[in-house]
Structure 1
């Protein structure tokens, strides 16, 4: 299932700082946001808190999300995909949607399982579908209020 507006390619790494330095060297960055944050997540195996070090690198209107999983069992989706070294490894694409309820209706009718969900209801919600059998990667969908989109660097 593909819907919404593709705006992000996401990568996992063991070293976000090194990845950011490489982007600074090789890309025309218009905006950069770096955070380390605990997030409450749901997976088919259960719920829990995961701590991630993240960088959101904007090059024109494409966002590159760099993910370094730090702590938490719910981060296995990222940790299991890490490369052996500090390089970047492609993980998923993300599409932003305007209506979360409409998206959920579409998700219920498609064959790919939800493997991760999280967010703050009323502000930002996201989920991952496991489309690896079809596309070779996950697909993330996110909905957020306009203020949060602007704070992330979207335009």
Structure 2
């Protein structure tokens, strides 16, 4: 079985999309992360859900967790609205990791190894030209592995 056999289409975002939009895409698509693409449909980043959450939490709260206790419950529930006008690109910082990408011909072992090594529940699958052809979620990987049986 190859990546093209289990890849699915997932919604993507761009660096210019707002954090609010990125969160909505991930939540509505029930995705374990996001694929950020460029104008040519090439994956620029693959962000696990925890990294998306990190983008959504204002830096002041991450730098000083004691500040979180000073925020009342009503405001704590909508903390991420403070970033409403900020884009995915604005929140990334200077060091951006290479995207977690596999070719359409990658085997299950290659995919599983990539996901484990990169600690990513999402892999972008690209065609021969490097364009996004689909994605493999961790759930999809588990399903594919469960359906395969060694030859008896």
Q: TM-score, normalised by structure 2?
A: 0.29
Q: Which has the higher contact order (CA 8 A, sep 6+)?
A: 2
Q: Which has the higher strand share?
A: 1
Greater helix content:
2
TM-score, structure 1 as length reference: 0.29
